[in-house]
Amino acid sequence: MKLPLAPVIGLAMGVLAALSLPSNVRAESAVDWSAIPKTTLTLFYPGQSGYDWLRSSDHKRAYSKVIEGDSCVSCHEGEEKDIGQLIVTGERLEPDPIEGKNATVDLAMQVAYDDENTHFRFQWKTQMDRPGQMHNYIRYNGEAWEFYGSHRASSKVRSGEQPPLYEDRLAIMVDDGSVPNFAAQGCWLSCHNGMRDMPEEASKDDIASNPILGSEGLNKGDIRKYLPSSRTDEEASWDATKLADEIAALKAEGKFVDLMQWRAARSAPVGMADDGYVLEYRLFDAGKNPFSWNVDRKTMTPKFMFDAEKVGVKAITVDDIGDPSKPYVLIHEENVVAYDPDAGWKAGDVLPGRLVSRAGAEGSAADNDQVTSKWEDGVWTVEWTRKRDTGHPEDDKIIEDGKAYNFGFAVHDDNVTTRFHYVGFPVSIGFGAEGDIQATPLQ
């Protein structure tokens, strides 16, 4: 299909003007979205429906089929709303429900591609009446800086001691067919007992002695997503890790899933998304992310504050949170100066505990650098252009013409993290090939 080029550019410039767009995001990321078909995916609240539960006799009449590799939609097509409702209310698979939380998110998606790039446009409604772009904030209490706010599942937010403050996110997983069963079971392959907020959560001490994940290896303090192929036992137990050279061989063969996340606080303000992959853990690609800490977490000393000459204030206050006229993010190359401990801090002053930088992002971790987003009337719109060949096949999936890829999408909405997100059954997207969804070729 050929699209008329001139009107495309005219309209696209209008769209871009409305989106937040750092000056060095290239304008050719624009597409005439009105000409691209829209698919709406229903993402649902999954609770603790992980790998282990799906293969247990609690998943009645289904577990042996799941072990054999049957697809979720072969039994659950169109059931997303019902499943989400059962789980979000705590009737099933959610020991600790969050009151009032939506059961599903409708994710509208459009996808196009040209010789160089894939282009995605996503839209979804948020439960909150402001964009979730505050994350890891710190507040001065009159004597010292402390973390302020957290995600809704934390005990301090549940008890009302702290406000809910956590960024909105959109995550994309991509498999090129190299990961067994991903086409059929998608994200659920990566979610296991032992992980943060899953049953039998692994302790720091147990993790420390694991040769791959512990102090001699990746030095992790918790368990995050991983693929069953990186484990030695049938249950894909978190601690049954394969040997380092076996894992390296899987990675070299491309047997990982690409995982990238648009983050409303930590990447969106600089027109980016992060870039990672899942194999033995959820890891970032080589190089440097667009975000880092703005606070030394041992001494709780900020590193930067707002540049008052540029944004009018050195910090915001608790009351300013959510006020769209106030700054909400520290961008290294735009609006910060070094933290001054003698600047006359008052109780209730607030700074972001994170620092964001486009200029500082590097290498494969910085591949998603053409992502624009805006929140308007309760809806996020994210336009995401990614190179088909990022030049980093060692930790990315390269999108070839004439091939379909398996995608998993997830949204973290309304101040949540970990399992408290919405996830969709996997879908295939064809780029010049058959798929559940066809990407539109552009000229």
Residues 324-363 contacting ligand HEC, CB under 6 A: none
Place of tokens 């088909």: 388
| CB-nearer residue toward ligand HEC: 12 or 87 | 87
d(CA 270, CA 144): 29
Cβ(139)–Cβ(131) below 8 Å: no
Q: Which of 61, 99, 159, 233 binds ligand HEC (CB under 6 A)?
A: 61
Residues 161-220 contacting ligand HEC, CB under 6 A: 185, 188
CA–chain centroid gap for 278, Å, is 13
* Distance in Å, CB of 416 to ligand HEC, minimum: 18
Residues 6 or more apart whose CB falls under 8 angstroms from that of 219 comprise none
* Distance in Å, CB of 81 to ligand HEC, minimum: 11
Cβ(285)–Cβ(367) below 8 Å: yes
| CB-nearer residue toward ligand HEC: 58 or 146 | 58
* Distance in Å, CB of 41 to ligand HEC, minimum: 14
Binding piece for ligand HEC, criterion CB under 6 A, among 56-64, 118-126, 132-140, 338-346 = 56-64
d(CA 356, CA 297): 17
Under the criterion CB under 6 A, does residue 62 sit at the interface with ligand HEC?
yes
* Distance in Å, CB of 434 to ligand HEC, minimum: 22
Residues 6 or more apart whose CB falls under 8 angstroms from that of 132 comprise 126, 166, 167, 168, 264, 265, 413, 414, 415
Residues 6 or more apart whose CB falls under 8 angstroms from that of 246 comprise none
* Distance in Å, CB of 264 to ligand HEC, minimum: 27
- Select from 165, 82, 164, 169 the least CA-distant residue to 373: 169
Q: Measured between alpha carbons, how far apart are the two ends of the chain, in Å?
A: 8
| CB-nearer residue toward ligand HEC: 276 or 426 | 426
Binding piece for ligand HEC, criterion CB under 6 A, among 60-68, 139-147, 410-418, 433-441 = 60-68
| CB-nearer residue toward ligand HEC: 34 or 64 | 64
Q: Which of 92, 125, 242, 403 binds ligand HEC (CB under 6 A)?
A: 92
* Distance in Å, CB of 439 to ligand HEC, minimum: 25
Residues 66-85 contacting ligand HEC, CB under 6 A: 66, 70, 72, 74-76, 83
| CB-nearer residue toward ligand HEC: 71 or 292 | 71
d(CA 314, CA 310): 9
Under the criterion CB under 6 A, does residue 303 sit at the interface with ligand HEC?
no
Under the criterion CB under 6 A, does residue 49 sit at the interface with ligand HEC?
yes
| CB-nearer residue toward ligand HEC: 77 or 340 | 77
Binding piece for ligand HEC, criterion CB under 6 A, among 59-67, 315-323, 333-341, 372-380 = 59-67
Strand order in the sheet with 349-352: 145-148, 137-140, 349-352, 316-317
| CB-nearer residue toward ligand HEC: 199 or 432 | 199
Tell me, by CB under 6 A, how many residues bind ligand HEC: 18
Beta strand pairing call for 330-331 and 354-356? parallel
* Distance in Å, CB of 65 to ligand HEC, minimum: 4
CA distances for 7 relative to 14, 30, 35, 60, 373, angstroms: 11, 12, 11, 54, 22
Phi-psi region of 418 (alpha: psi -120 to 50; beta: other; left: phi over 0): left
List residues near ligand HEC by CB under 6 A: 49, 54, 59-62, 65-66, 70, 72, 74-76, 83, 86, 92, 185, 188
